[in-house]
Structure 1
């Protein structure tokens, strides 16, 4: 009777042994067939921040991305560095801050230093098949915009690699969530506008609610595309050998998010999935369904991709890999920047520690939301401005059509919409000083080319790349940072000592420093002229009148910026004539023309009265107009032909 039991037990043991050895052989086979290096897939959506279910947004309907996040690592705070597409993509593709390349201005078409490698070049050298579907939109001249992809366009796909065993790096970009899609009609709303949660800075009107609802509809459509891309990967049997990144390319396309380096314009969703076979490449805090508090930004993406591929990032890249073989230390701060946005001149730098956001405004005398033609095609923008002009907005809503303080500090914990500037509160004095110093030192260490006007940067880099200029002795970054900072401080407080300091800057041999000296005089008199003595005002005005004869057009323009506003017929007449010359003469250059037309637009009545010329006499053609055919001069001339609000 015992024999059958022993036989059965032997059979069971043999079966278990077979299961173990079979399991071992299956595991061995899986290990043998898993590629040594992972494929890398980047899924990118346009113009959307973290308005997703996995980020706690209950109004959102994004099941595919939420599912990805449930088995991946979600980053709580990721910044795009720039709040608009071209400068943000410039940062992504280069692994460098766009401000270090001169590419922070919208569609600025800058040259790259000879021999500089963008991340597709490095990945190709590492043996990866690199594709981009489809958007490039880098702020590079055409010769540099190919970026090193094996294929970039509507047919680019990882499936096209010549050898199925070849690892791939592929980008798929989804434009359905772009700003332009918010205003596309006809559109049948799916999300209920009545349930949309509006930021406190937007007025509560049917137009605004519809735009937000349509934005969320587009996110749902985008989510389906992300789901389809992941399904395609699964169907090809590549899910276990592919690292997936999903991220947005900057904040939402709604006004005061896109184009503005608040957290609302810079924070993007970032979800990273790393298959089990490559967990040695994952960061220490990687946990499926987990959340990372590590601060990351677009400047880190290129070196991270290269690190995941097992290659060492080039020394010129300024980002820090946050995973892979060459992962580095976490950052204490992230940085953002705003340069010229289409036809409007501006300069803002921002910094966050993950909770507080610091902003430094270098043109505080101009309003936050200027008339950018493309932005005004969104119904929310138009109704928001109409209600401002009618005096029907709250203080929080009206703020963004007005001029600015030099610096702001926002606490995202208590003020996620960033409307309450707490920079002056004693309890935040230490944090303000920390982020101010971090921003200033970052501008120095990265050699921020925004310290030169766009026209001056192009003038100095006529025969070299702007980055090469920035690293040369022709670019005294410390003197420029000090001058730009002092000019901004003049807007907050100005006395006779400040006037003297700005006059000294105006005598510098460096036209970049002279520019900021003139800006400082303009800001000081514009903000505090009533508390200055007649002698101090006269001295400042005399210096600016002298600068109308400066050899540098940007310096002359900075002098005009105040002189056209003075209650002095002679000063206004001289400034008006110079402004019209700077806007009109082809030798003034394309970027000088844009800057001059900006000043003219803010003072159009005075310019018309004192110049004796109409705006229709301004020639819009420029000898050095970028080959990309930008129409920003034309846009400004159209604006000048409309009634001034």
Structure 2
């Protein structure tokens, strides 16, 4: 009998082979193209901006989902990126300002690409995903890839945002850097963040850093396409971060006279004096060393404001074109249909709003960011949702889209149900915070501001802060903005008698925290 069964099994195998039968394979895991665009506020056509020339990002939005109400957890690079990349909020990462390095604070932290590695993904990093010069080699199989022309030993600590075309500017930067490093050995951007706030050289896209790294990304994708292993590819664009140095043809897309100035040029009425950033970022650039604190009587001239805003828009259009070129290459490699594409900004940026330029506040002009997702098998395309979403939600969401287990420690909520039903009931609030340090605060104090955004209101509570222990002290001041009737946050109405019940309710929601705001 045993011999007969063996013969029957062998006969079945012969029949299968003769008919061309093969064992079914497990569906291939989707690739992930994870695209960060530094300092990008929702200045895109897909978000209704009437000025922005962003055809390729608009096209991607037409093939995916556009999230209209996305909030970062802290409006500055290092805390925002540490939060979304670990799936933890700033009070858990304990990364509260630019100088905090998450890997030194949390050596055992598991980042998103590090986690995807456990499920068979090959991970690659080009450009700014974590904060500048923090490539975190632990997170990637291939960390911090750079275009060959930028691999000079004396440039390894230099950021991609600091390169110009002008030789005279380059020489000036080197001279200034030598002087700066003599005064202080460790400096932001390794001392290279000097020069003009804008440049419009008439050159090919690839002669600026973001263009060069896009070419490297295309070559890397070509290499990855030859393997069977799924990839998680982190690509971080530096523009539209200052300086607004991009090819002239992107400046030429705009009539500067048609670019509107900020609709809210004053600090919010009734806001605490420490709520505003000092604009020290812009002050580093040529011709801006004199600018005052936003709370002072200083006002930028209209001509200068128009040039800066023009430069920001040109920078956004430059990155738009580069990303479109990369997606075309993805399609040519037959990778597009099996790749999750997620494009996000790490925080917003004030373009004269609140008498300021830059980020680093709790105001929604700095907290709200774009987020566009396109994924394989997506049924609803070209749709939008106004549900409240947070950047910390990206970690669990990408896990679910990739079909891998969501870590139980994640402090965000997968937004995949919104991709399937954009109108469904969702989070009741988003939570953010900002650490105001003495050298930046107009009154020289140190505070932590905790923010909650609901569909109707934006509420902020400020506390004193002990930076040595990382604990908050006494309550100091509240801010309340009516999002429906005052979307540009022109007036703090927290102290009004008519606001008392709203303040009490929002204060309770803020104290209850993010776990009480998750969708049922």
TM-score range, shorter chain: 0.5 to 0.7
Matches within 5 A, 1:25-104: 35-104=27-96
Cα distance, 1:438 vs structure 2: 2.0
Match of 2:359 among 255, 258, 269: 258
Partner of 2:16: none
Counterpart for residue 264 of structure 2: 201
After TM superposition, the score normalised by the length of structure 1 is 0.52
Verify the 8 A CA contact 1:109 1:139 in the aligned structure 2. no
SS at match of 1:293: strand
Q: Which residue of 2 aligns with 1:354?
A: 455
CA separation of 1:130/1:200 partners in 2, compared to 1, >3 Å: closer, same or farther? same
Residues 1:431 and 1:236: Cα distance change in structure 2 (over 3 Å):
farther
The question of whether the paired residues in 2 share the 8 Å contact of 1:252 and 1:264 is answered with yes
1:163 offset after TM fit, Å? Answer: 5.9
Match of 2:98 among 101, 106, 111: 106
Matches within 5 A, 1:417-428: 417-428=488-499
CA separation of 1:351/1:417 partners in 2, compared to 1, >3 Å: closer, same or farther? same
Query: Following superposition of structure 1 onto structure 2, how do residues 328-343 of structure 1 map, counting pairs within 5 Å?
Result: 330-340=426-436, 343=439
Q: Tell me by how many angstroms 1:101 deviates.
A: 1.9
Alignment of 1:214 onto 2:311: yes
Structure number with bigger Rg: 1
Indicate if the aligned counterparts of 1:241 and 1:275 stay in contact, CA closer than 8 A. yes
1:326 positional shift: 13
Could you tell me which residue of structure 1 aligns to residue 125 of structure 2?
132
Structure 2 SS opposite 1:222: helix
Q: Which runs of 5+ in 2 are unaligned?
A: 1-20, 147-216, 266-298, 441-445, 466-474
**Distance in 1 (alpha carbons) for counterparts of 2:42 and 2:227:** 35
Q: Give the match for residue 287 of structure 1.
A: 380
CA contact (8 A) 1:72 1:290 kept: yes
1:548-602 CA-to-partner distances (Å, cap 9, x unmatched) read: xxxxxxxxxxxxxxxxxxxxxxxxxxxxxxxxxxxxxxxxxxxxxxxxxxxxxxx
The structure with the largest helix share of the pair is 1
Mapped contact 2:250–2:314 kept (Cα < 8 A)? no
For structure 1, the residue ranges without an aligned partner over 5 or more in a row are 1-28, 280-285, 365-403, 447-645
TM-score by length of structure 2 reads: 0.63
Q: SS at 1:61's partner residue?
A: coil
SS of the residue corresponding to residue 416 of structure 2 reads coil
Q: Secondary structure in 2 aligned to 1:237?
A: coil
Three-state SS of the structure 2 residue aligned to 1:36 is coil
Task: State the alpha-carbon separation in 2 of the partners of residues 314 and 323 from structure 1.
Answer: 15
Name the stretch that deviates more: 151-160 or 243-252. Answer: 151-160
**Residues 231-266 of structure 1: CA deviation (Å, up to 9, x unaligned):** 111111112111111111210264365111211001
Shift of 1:196: 1.9
Output the CA distance in 1 between the equivalents of 2:250 and 2:44. Answer: 21
1:325–1:125 Cα change, 3 Å: farther
Deviation at 1:34, TM superposition (A): 9.5
Aligned mate of 1:149, from 140, 153, 158: 140
CA contact (8 A) 1:122 1:306 kept: no
Counterpart Cα distance in 2 of 1:151 and 1:420: 48
Partner Cα distance (1:232, 1:52) in 2: 22
Deviation at 1:37, TM superposition (A): 2.1
Indicate the SS of the match to 1:153.
strand
Q: Is residue 272 of structure 1 aligned with residue 373 of structure 2?
A: yes
Compute the RMSD of aligned alpha carbons. 3.6
Instruction: Mark the CA change 1:169 to 1:183 in structure 2 (over 3 Å): closer, same or farther.
Output: closer
C-alpha displacement of 1:185: 11
Structure number with higher relative contact order (C-alpha < 8 Å, ≥ 6 residues apart): 2
Task: Compute the displacement of 1:191 (Å).
Answer: 2.2
Whole-angstrom distance in 1 between the partners of 2:324 and 2:406: 31
Whether 1:413 and 2:484 are equivalent positions in the alignment is yes
